[in-house]
Structures are given as C-alpha cells and as structure tokens.
Amino acid sequence: MNIEMERRAIECLKAFEPHDEQGYYLCYSGGKDGDTVRLLAQLAGVAHQCKHNLTTADAPETVYYIRDTIGKENIISPALSIWQLIVKKGIPPSRKVRYCCSELKEIGGKGQVKITGVRKAESKSRRALQELVTISGAPKHTVKAAEGLSVSYRISRRNGILLDNTNDRSRRLVAARYKSCSVAINPISDWEESDVWQFLHHYGCKSNPLYQCGFKRIGCVGCPLGGFKNMKREFEYYPKFYENYIKTFDRMIAERARRGQETSKVWADGEAVMRWWLGGELLNLPVEIAHNLAV
C-alpha cells in the first residue's frame, strides 16, 4: 500500500474540514472509491455525514451493502424515481444528457463541503473536469475571490474552478465559498485503481459483493456511462431492470404523444428505444422474459 498517498489524502481532508456543526457531507456510492473515502474520513478523524442518494436503479446487492455499511437512515430517497424522470424528460439518459446524475445522485449537501471518491484515472473527462478541489457555480465571483487571495487555479468548463493544493490560500477560498457554491474535496483524485484496492485490502474492507461477481463498475443498472458492452452485461444479469426500462420507454413515448412532441421513427415503441439505447440491438434473453415483454 502507498503510505504516502494515504497520508496526503488524510491531510487534505484535515486541511479543508469545515468548522461548523455539520462537518463534511460524504457522498457515498457503495463502490470501492466510496469505501475508500469513507475509511479515509474515519482515519482523518474529521466530522462528516456519510450519505447515499438512492437512484432507484441501484442493483439490489448495492442497496443492501449500503444499508448494512452506513445504516438505512443515511439513505436518501429521491422525489422522483428514474422511471418517473425518464417519462418526465421525454428522453432516455445518455452520456450527453445526464439529468439522472444531476437530479438523483448529485443532490444533497447544500451549503456543506462535500467529499467524493472521484478519481481522474477513471476517464479523460474526469481528468479534465476534476482536481483535488472542485468549486462549481457563481464562476465570476469565485474567480474574483481566488484572484483576490492569489490562489492558483484552472477553469473548469462546467461552470467552476479547480484547485490542486491544500495551502492556506486554498483553504481560505474554500471556507469563503462553500456556503454559496458547490465545493467538493476529492482526496483520492490522483489514485489509480490498484491504489484503491491495496488500501481496502490493507484495512480489511470486503467491499460491495458485486465486485466478487465480476463487476468492474458499481452504479445504476444500465447506466450509459459504462458503454454498450457494460449495459448489455448488466441487463443480462438483471433482466427485470431490462423489462422495466422498456415499459418505461413505452410510457415515455405515450407522454411525448400527449404533449404533441414529435417522436423519431427510430423510437416506434419501447423495444425500439431500447435497441437505440443499446447501440442497435436487443438482448437475446430467455424465452420467459421475452414473453413477459410481449404481454
């Protein structure tokens, strides 16, 4: 295990700890990165609330694991389920249209400094959009405050700025902006996947059981961010979710028609939407499942 990386992550959490009764808002995913920041917050001894925002498309094993790990009382249910959101938005979530993330996962912690398990090694977009500290919202005021404190920063194309150090000026900027902006501390932003697993094994964390089933990524079943191959694999593992999405797409098309919105010929029905969503093909599921879909 990389002791130096662990030390830096702990020092980062200590450096930006908010001095109020709420403490940090730890965004817990139930995955390996979420477990890592959860353990780091405990090792750092910082005040924090560990919360999970239920998406309603979470795998059952993930829900049970989160409940057993942080307690049922720390799981927050959304105002609308993913199934209701799809109908309301009139379009399935995608890599470019990520309303599911903003309305289901990225809620909570308003007015608090958040802790996330974001790692830049996960994707090119993460490398471009994330750093040790991410401050989003009110960009003009935040930039003005950063320059007034002579803080070194870079601009994020998502309406904010990124910081990569824990010096006194950065700490003062975070303290000044977290009540009016969304501020996230990402203590493992520079960790590789191997660093995460070594850390968890060292501290005896068994992690989400889906990893033992061969899953590489923990999140919503059918999440398009995982790519077509991963979506198909998850639907084969959870055919009931596959069925629910198709039924939801049918309701989405009916709602679009009710609103007088045009619907592409590619989206003739729920199965056609699913075919489009999966990159041009439906899954060859067992006969009894295909029968259920046809009923």
Specify the pLDDT at position 129: 63
**Residue 74: how many other CB atoms lie within 10 Å:** 15
The 10s digit of each residue's pLDDT in 130-168 is 789 999 887 788 889 999 999 998 888 767 889 998 999
Note the pLDDT tens digit of each residue in 252-277.
Answer: 999 999 999 887 777 889 999 999 99
User: Does residue 292 have a pLDDT over 50?
Assistant: no
| pLDDT for 124 beyond 70 | no
Domain at 3-130+186-202, CATH class? alpha beta
Give the helix/strand (H/E) hosting 38.
Answer: helix 32-44
Contact predicate 105/267, CB 8 Å: no
Query: What distance in Å separates the CA atoms of residue 249 and residue 272, rounded to the nearest whole number?
Result: 9
Q: Where are the domains of the chain?
A: 3-130+186-202, 227-294
Q: Which of 125, 108, 109, 118 lies closest to 36 in space, CA to CA?
A: 118
Evaluate if residue 293 carries a pLDDT over 80.
no
Mean pLDDT for 37-65 is 96
> How confident is the model at residue 119, as a pLDDT?
93
pLDDT of 290? 37
Give yes or no for residue 55 having a pLDDT over 90: yes
Query: What six digits make up the tokens of 212?
Result: 């033992």
Tell me what percent of the residues of the chain surpass a pLDDT of 70: 92
Query: Average pLDDT, stretch 31-36?
Result: 97
The 10s digit of each residue's pLDDT in 169-196 is 999 999 999 988 899 999 999 999 999 9
Beta bridge partners of 265: none
Q: What is the pTM of this model?
A: 0.89
Cα separation, 280 vs 228, in Å, equals 10
75-76 β-sheet, strand order: 75-76, 48-53, 24-27, 113-115, 182-185, 133-136, 160-163, 154-156
